[in-house]
A and B are shown apart, each in its own frame.
Chain A
Amino acid sequence: MENLKKKFAGKQAFINLAIIVLTYVLLTVLMSAGLLNRQYTSLLVPIAINVILAVSLNLITGFLGELSLGHAGFMSIGAYVGALITINMDAPEIVELTLALLAGGAVAAFFGFVIGMPVLRLNGDYLAIVTLGFGEIIKSVLISMKITNGAKGLQRIPLYTTYKSYTLVFILMVISILAIMNIVKSRHGRAICSIRDNSIATQSIGINVSRFKVMTFVISAFFAGIAGVLYAHNVGILKPTTFDYNKSIEILVIVVLGGMGSIRGSVIAAIILTALPELLRGADDFRMLLYAVVLIIIMLFNHSKIKEGLLNNNIFGKLFKSNEEKVGE
């Protein structure tokens, strides 16, 4: 049994690695063969950014089980901090970007700590409202501050993360995904998931629930900050209005669509939902309508008997069958 499990875990890691390498090789080949036109290549970095955002938000919504509507706020903090550093510094690109990433992530994480505090007292709908308010406050502050250039926003941000440097962005995305995956499958991740399933029982087995709630917000905000830095250096201009609640909802939509608590789902949904509107350029006006329709369909599916049946037949059905003799009493 033990051996089998090890083998399985090893296989899983191998599959993940194979997917990562294959994706990268495929992208490189397509790019160098010139098969991807500008429309597609310009999508690469936004997809990676949305993947990081979705996976990090999934840590809060899917694993901690709290609804957060302020993820764009964390992203904007990272974006502005990173952009201000690269605009005002005069150092080699790699030094500037590294510093921007670290500072953007760290400052966003600090705000994650600040917003994590009310979480201790609130949950469910109330927390959702607080995080929503937090996102809007950040936006207002960015508009009113001088250093962020108010409503006009920041311009002439060096373009360090365009499609030309997609290798770097790809690596950062993979690191982010792996880091969050690894956290989930550790004693810290188990503590986070146990809070979702039953916070009273979590307290009763000696886990400090407050501490882990704040920690989850800090980690999630850190990666959102990183995504923000990448965004700033991909687009080149920043406006506070980009980071309104629509952006937060957009990320949440990706998480819900991909399945709460499924990292692979978040990645796939981020790719589809970022690429789809671009590929359907002609129907861009219907983008939000499409979102709504797709969301409704997926939610119906998630709560349908069809999915239940699929799950039961494929996984649990077989498990119970093979163990029937042993388990039955």
Chain B
Amino acid sequence: MALLEVNNLGISFGGLRAVDNFNISIEKGQLYGLIGPNGAGKTTVFNLLTGVYPPTDGSIVLDGVNLNGKSANEICRAGIARTFQNIRLFDKLTVLDNVKTALHNQIKYSLLSSILRTPAYFKAEKAMDKKALEILKVFGLDRIHEYRASNLPYGMQRKLEIARALATNPKIILLDEPAAGMNPTETQELMDMIRFIRDNFDVAVLLIEHDMNLVLGICEQVKVLEYGRIIAEGDPIKVVNDPKVITAYLGE
């Protein structure tokens, strides 16, 4: 059985059917792309998968665990992490603390030991620092870990968001337009990075992207959404040459 198994997923906002009959099955370590014109419902799919919206129908099963009706934080603990289209960092916290916050469920100690500063506190904090710096190092952010997140340049903020998602120790990571606002060099870097985290952190990746270079460069499979429905799927090269897909993007 696949790592993530989504069947017949759908949601209606009043009379609007935003996502309809969405199926996807992602294997362990797979790089999966989700593309489609603006307003097709790609981000809505992410919001359904991560529990931001409860699906009207359909089922989401991760590693044999049914995630239907779970809240966003429970779904994250089950193993789905995500980034956002418009970056959502903890602006007033430092780079390091952003990642350490995401380690909340990995390394624990009680409220009492944080008030009394017991040895357990110091031990756990030290372990958190180590782990967080390790993750930051992958993104080249470790040397600026004392900066406030809001003071980072745009590209680094995007990287930090991925680092933070990775720190929750996910089985699958959903990236919502990771290359948005990046120049070609940065995009190339990002592609290498996504491959690197797939190989070294043992995660599957599902990404939304408009940059076709990135999609064709790293995705093993893609799905194309239009008006909430899947109109094409399969091998990236074949899909982007599919007349239906070209029509969806460019019109008749």
**Contact A190/B71 with A183-B115, A197-B93, A204-B81 known, Cβ cut-off 8 Å:** no
Chain B residue nearest in CB terms to A189:
B114
Rounded to whole Å, the gap between the CB of B233 and the closest CB of chain A is 26
Count chain B CB atoms within 10 A of each CB in A2, A190, A200, A209 and give the residue with the most.
Answer: A190
**Contact A187/B104 with A204-B81, A323-B143 known, Cβ cut-off 8 Å:** yes
CB pair A194–B93 under 8 Å, yes or no, is yes
Rounded to whole Å, the gap between the CB of B182 and the closest CB of chain A is 12
Task: Please provide the chain B residues from 57 to 106 with a CB less than 8 Å away from any CB of chain A in the complex.
Answer: 71-74, 76-77, 81-82, 84, 88-93, 97, 100-105
**Contact residues in B for A319 (Cβ distance below 8 Å):** 146-147
**Contact residues in B for A200 (Cβ distance below 8 Å):** 52, 72, 84, 88
CB pair B73–A206 under 8 Å, yes or no, is yes
Task: Count A-side interface residues using an 8 Å CB cutoff.
Answer: 32
CB pair A190–B97 under 8 Å, yes or no, is yes
CB pair A207–B101 under 8 Å, yes or no, is yes
CB pair A197–B89 under 8 Å, yes or no, is yes
**Partner pick for B100 among A182, A187, A196, A204, CB 8 A cutoff:** A187
CB pair A326–B101 under 8 Å, yes or no, is no
**Contact A186/B147 with A191-B104, A206-B73, A206-B104 known, Cβ cut-off 8 Å:** no
Once the chains are docked, how many angstroms separate the CA of A206 from the CA of B79? 9
Chain B residue nearest in CB terms to A326:
B143
**Contact residues in B for A198 (Cβ distance below 8 Å):** 88-91
Once the chains are docked, how many angstroms separate the CA of A299 from the CA of B88? 27
Once the chains are docked, how many angstroms separate the CA of A187 from the CA of B71? 21
A 274-310 to B, binary, CB cutoff 8 A, 1 in contact else 0: 0000000000000000000000000000000000000
**Partner pick for B104 among A207, A326, A327, CB 8 A cutoff:** A207
**Contact residues in B for A206 (Cβ distance below 8 Å):** 73-74, 76-77, 102, 104-105, 168
Rounded to whole Å, the gap between the CB of B31 and the closest CB of chain A is 21
**Contact residues in A for B143 (Cβ distance below 8 Å):** 323, 326-327
Count chain B CB atoms within 10 A of each CB in A196, A202, A209, A316 and give the residue with the most.
Answer: A202
Task: Please provide the chain B residues from 114 to 145 with a CB less than 8 Å away from any CB of chain A in the complex.
Answer: 114-117, 121, 124-125, 128-129, 143-144
B 5-41 to A, binary, CB cutoff 8 A, 1 in contact else 0: 0000000000000000000000000000000000000
Which 7 interchain pairs have the tightest Cβ spacing?
A: A186-B114, A206-B76, A201-B88, A197-B90, A203-B72, A205-B102, A190-B101
* Further contacts, 8 of them, CB under 8 A, given A194-B90, A204-B76, A204-B88: A188-B111, A193-B101, A198-B89, A200-B72, A215-B111, A316-B151, A323-B143, A326-B144
